[in-house]
Structure 1
Amino acid sequence: MRVFITGIGSGIGEALAKEYLKRGDEVYALGRYKPKTLENEDNLYFRRLDLFAHEKIEKELLELLPECIDIAILNAGMLGDIKDMSETSLYELKTVMDLNVWSNKVILDFFKNINIKQVVAISSGAAVNGSRGWSGYSISKAALNMLIKLYAREMSNTHLSALAPGLVATPMLGHILENIDEEKYPSVKRLKESPKLSPEESAKMLIETFVKLLKYESGEFHDVRRMD
């Protein structure tokens, strides 16, 4: 298979790239950096780009991608600070939206002009939970879900989904658990007490889940914890 992934520098993106490469697939990736664990992979095609640079994305994709892709995983994203909405500036909210939503819009616009079978945007349960403190992250993931639904109406030859991957022991989650006040933000306490997958375990599970998504209507949001 030919697989495109954004954000392979760590966590889920890195683990997915490793797992696909282990299975003999070709991986095409865009992101700020390539981890040392993937330095010597012959089937990895990587372009270094900060996805905040929206104006450069199309050019990099043109030079990176073949004309046909089996699956694209829009994984790159940022958390932003966990704090109350009233304490979060418009600048902070716009920054999170620029990466989590608008960079993906540019990528999806490019996808309309190539042969791509499936797109999965990595979303979050935060998109629907509305827990205190998740501010820009929750808003951006809710917007990402709708972005996927809208593009599904335009890209009839591609199956699109937004997918919450469940709790994965990534650097992002580690930051939350170690630094955020669980008394002020009760969702942090719930996260600490909930079971978590390693990135490697998550990657194997997600690859199997991506296949299952094809039986559902294009454009829908799913949470791995609530799927059959």
Structure 2
Amino acid sequence: MDSEKAVRRAAIFGASGGIGGALAAILADRGAKVLAGSRSGIAPDERCRGFRFDLTDENSIAAAAADMADEPPDLTVIASGVLTLSDGTGPERSFRQIDAQAMEEVFRLNTVGPAIVAKHILPLLSRSERSVFAILSARVGSITDNGLGGWHSYRSSKAALNMLIRNFAIELSRTHKSAIVVGLHPGTVDTVLSTPFQSNLPEGQLVSPAIAATNLLAVIDELEPSDSGKIFDWKGEQIPA
């Protein structure tokens, strides 16, 4: 890997999850200084420094960003999100199942929360050196690629997130020529998020968090400023809007 692309400082929002924890561990293996964020504030790896944040609490995000201001991350990954809510409410199979309160919660966690993280972290990024701000998105957020329908709240929350990623990239490019803002689709990963939907998957489609994190970091390693605003899958292939 190009030494100019080596991650020195990383901030993982959602390090208590499978992918986030794996990202933190691999980056620590590489020698990066890793800040690992979760609601508890406890780092999943003793080599990382934990910080507390809650996607529904802007004050906690602002406080975390303030603590990073002296040494801003050159890689930030938002690895938080929701598919099935804590009360068991899952993706809608029909528009008849749409519930306003459930939809609002999905958007708050998948779209609004990451937007607030961007609000506080993007201003910290270097104006001269390479930095990457990545958010875990999903292929089902693609309008062009949608041939099945359903999953209304999740799909639309990710589609809105993808639009925000594009917006952030455009705005940041005016002042931060080496900054990259992207969405990343990790594939189907063996985590709590995907557990209810793992049956009948083709052999080899489900991967471990460690493999998913390794794949995503390989994509991140190759990103250029011209990639900012785009959504990529775990193979590095661009997903259409």
TM-score tier (shorter):
0.7 to 0.9
**Is the CA contact 2:43–2:51 (under 8 Å) kept in the aligned structure 1?**
no
Partner SS, residue 198 of structure 2? helix
Counterpart-to-counterpart distance in 2, 1:45 and 1:25: 11
Distance 2:9 2:183 in 1: 20
Contact 2:181 2:229 in 1 (8 A): yes
Contact 2:16 2:44 in 1 (8 A): no
**Superposed counterparts of 1:1-228, under 5 Å:** 1-33=8-40, 37-38=44-45, 40-41=46-47, 44-80=48-84, 81-83=90-92, 84-116=94-126, 117-128=131-142, 129-130=145-146, 131-156=148-173, 157=176, 158-177=179-198, 189=200, 191=201, 195-214=205-224, 216-225=226-235, 227=237
Q: 2:5 aligns to what?
A: none
Report the structure, 1 or 2, having the larger helix content: 1
Q: Percent identity?
A: 26
Which string of whole-angstrom CA distances, capped at 9 and with x for unpartnered residues, describes residues 109-134 of structure 1?
A: 11332124111111111112444442
* Stretches of structure 2 lacking an aligned partner (at least 5 in a row): 1-7, 85-89
Q: 1:162 is paired with a residue of what secondary structure?
A: strand
Deviations 1:188-225 (A, max 9, x none): x4x45562221111111211111222264310112234
Query: Counterparts of 2:32 and 2:43 in 1: how far apart (Å)?
Result: 19
Report the Cα distance in structure 2 between the residues aligned to 1:151 and 1:36, rounded to whole angstroms.
Answer: 28
> Is 27-36 or 149-158 further displaced after alignment?
27-36
Contact 1:8 1:34 in 2 (8 A): no
Structure 2: how far apart are the matches of 1:161 and 1:36? 25
Contact (CA 8 Å) 1:2, 1:27: kept in 2 or not?
yes
What is the CA-CA distance between 1:50 and the residue it aligns to?
Answer: 2.1
**Residues 87-141 of structure 1 deviation map (CA, whole Å, 9 limit, x = unaligned):** 1211111111111111111111113321241111111111124444422111111
Please list the CA deviations of residues 164-189 of structure 1 after superposition, one character each: whole Å capped at 9, or x if unmatched. Answer: 111211121112236xxxxxxxxxx4
CA distance in 1, matches of 2:106, 2:151: 11
Q: 2:184 is paired with a residue of what secondary structure?
A: strand
Matched AA of 2:167: L
Secondary structure, counterpart of 2:165 in structure 1: helix
Classify the secondary structure of the residue corresponding to 1:222: strand
Alignment partners' CA distance in 1, 2:43 and 2:34: 16
Letter in 2 for 1:126: V
The equivalent residue for 1:181 is none
Distance (Å, rounded) in 2 between the aligned partners of 1:149 and 1:53: 24
Q: Give, in whole Å, the separation in 1 of the partners of 2:182 and 2:30.
A: 23
TM-score, length of structure 2 as denominator length: 0.80
Q: CA deviation at 1:51?
A: 1.4
Alpha-carbon offset, residue 20 of structure 1:
0.7
CA distance in 2, matches of 1:153, 1:69: 20
Query: Which AA in structure 1 matches 2:186?
Result: P
Quick check: 2:13–2:38 contact (8 Å CA) kept in 1? yes
Q: Deviations over 1:28-51 (max 9, x none)?
A: 12222367852x32xx12112221
Question: Aligned Cα RMSD in Å?
Answer: 2.2
Q: 2: distance between equivalents of 1:65 and 1:177?
A: 40
